[in-house]
Structure 1
Amino acid sequence: MSTARRRLDPEQRRAQLLDIGARLFAEHPYEDVWIEEVAELAGVSRGLLYHYFPNKRDFFAAIVQRASDQLLSATEIDPNLPMAEQVSAGLDAYIEHFIKNPHGVLAVNRGALSGDQTIQAIIDDELAVLRRRMLDALALHGHERDVAGAAVLGWLAFTRAVCVNWVAQQTMSRDEVRELCLRTLVGALGSTVHLEEPPR
């Protein structure tokens, strides 16, 4: 059922369309989502939707980009905090983002268009920023930074998969998710960094 059309400014209308799209892509495979349904739910014409997004692929890419931007904004931690506090706060913010944006994160991580260059570039850029922030927090340089960088990249992929599964299945508590991810990071870094979590 379509919603009554409200007069929104362009930024609000674009955000509304992305919200609806994120929900639909989270609930259905990419190929089962129709632009016509998005327009109907928003109470707008297909022509207006295409004014914002030329095609379905660009629409999905915009959803992925917004989700990535929101994640990077939510996980930006004060670089002046002690190392362990930065890591702990960053992980907490990451988990909180998944809690607050279940449709967005599930839409992005359903595997749709995984081979698309634009989508992959957004994901790669996001991982690069998160990796750099983590390595900066660990204050590593030279070869140690290179070694830890490989471990951090693997840990980010692991943490993403755990959080996506948790949001979709709810088989663990938040504390269990946090503990699992933190212990895995400690194990991944090995003797490179002695990471002790600060009191909560």
Structure 2
Amino acid sequence: MPSRRRLTPEQRRDELMDAGAQLFGERGFEDIAMEDIAAHAQVSRALMYHYFPTKGEFFAAIWKRAHDRLLSEATIDPARSVRAGVAIALAAHLDFYQAHVPLVFIANRSAVATDPAVRGPVADDLTAICNRVLDACAATGHTRDLASAALAGWIAFIREVAIEWLLHQRISRDEALKLCMATLDATVGAHLDLEAVPAQSN
């Protein structure tokens, strides 16, 4: 066999996650063992466990990497109104879910779905967008507290609508987006001026 390329630990970790993402895209979480991933990546089982102690942690790392990439793109444009910026960022999230359906279902409908390491990336990047909304609207004091609570509920709503859309295909992607934005208007919009241009661009 040809000798393997010498990779940095970070490069090797990425290579393993690439192999895992491919397998998770083809088979269910419960149907894949760490040995399968090691064989697919052409590495030893011991090396797999060196980088990822459990299959749950391995999937969580893949999921987080994907969301980190998404978050770097799903930003709120300071030249637009807060609402317009959120709509663009939310559309990017829905497109991401549509492009990673198998991963989305594993993260929400498998044995690992309740693992905080798996739930975290979704909540973290949406929370980051919510914090940008609060900051862009210059929300302070109790108004910020109310809007923050509304945004937390909105995150949960987005997750359920996205799963309903992807799982059953009874509504379109655009209808899912409109539902989420209407909920934002009805909840967060009751406390913040979403049509305002972000405070930092004023």
CA distance in structure 1 between the partners assigned to 2:64 and 2:81 by the alignment? 30
Q: Distance in 1 between matches of 2:12 and 2:139?
A: 44
- Superposed displacement of residue 174, structure 1: 2.0
TM-aligned CA distance change 1:7 to 1:36, over 3 Å: same
Q: 1:92 is matched by which residue type in structure 2?
A: A
Q: Deviations over 1:162-190 (max 9, x none)?
A: 22332344332221111111112112235
Structure 2 equivalent of residue 90 of structure 1: 89
Mark the runs of 5 or more structure 2 residues left unpaired by the alignment.
Answer: 196-202
2:72 aligned residue: 73
SS for the counterpart of 1:109 is: helix
List gaps (5 residues or longer) in structure 1: none
Could you tell me which amino acid in structure 2 is paired with residue 88 of structure 1?
Answer: A
> How does 1:48-63 map onto structure 2 within 5 Å?
48-63=47-62
Q: How does 1:1-200 map to 2 (within 5 A)?
A: 7=5, 9-10=7-8, 11-25=10-24, 30-122=29-121, 124-189=123-188, 191-195=190-194
TM-score normalised by structure 2 residue count = 0.76
The letter of the residue matching 2:105 is: L
Give how far 1:18 is off: 1.7
Stretch deviating more after TM superposition (108-117 or 47-56):
108-117
**Between the two proteins, what is the percent identity of the paired residues?**
43
Cα–Cα, structure 1 residues 22 and 106, in superposed 2: closer, same or farther, change >3 Å? farther
User: How far apart are the structure 2 equivalents of 1:142 and 1:33?
Assistant: 48
Whole-Å separation in 1 of the counterparts to 2:107 and 2:62: 8
- Cα distance in structure 2, aligned partners of 1:61 and 1:149: 26
Deviation at 1:93, TM superposition (A): 1.8
Cα displacement string for residues 43-89 of structure 1 (whole angstroms, at most 9, x for unaligned residues): 33223322322332331231232233233223222335322222222
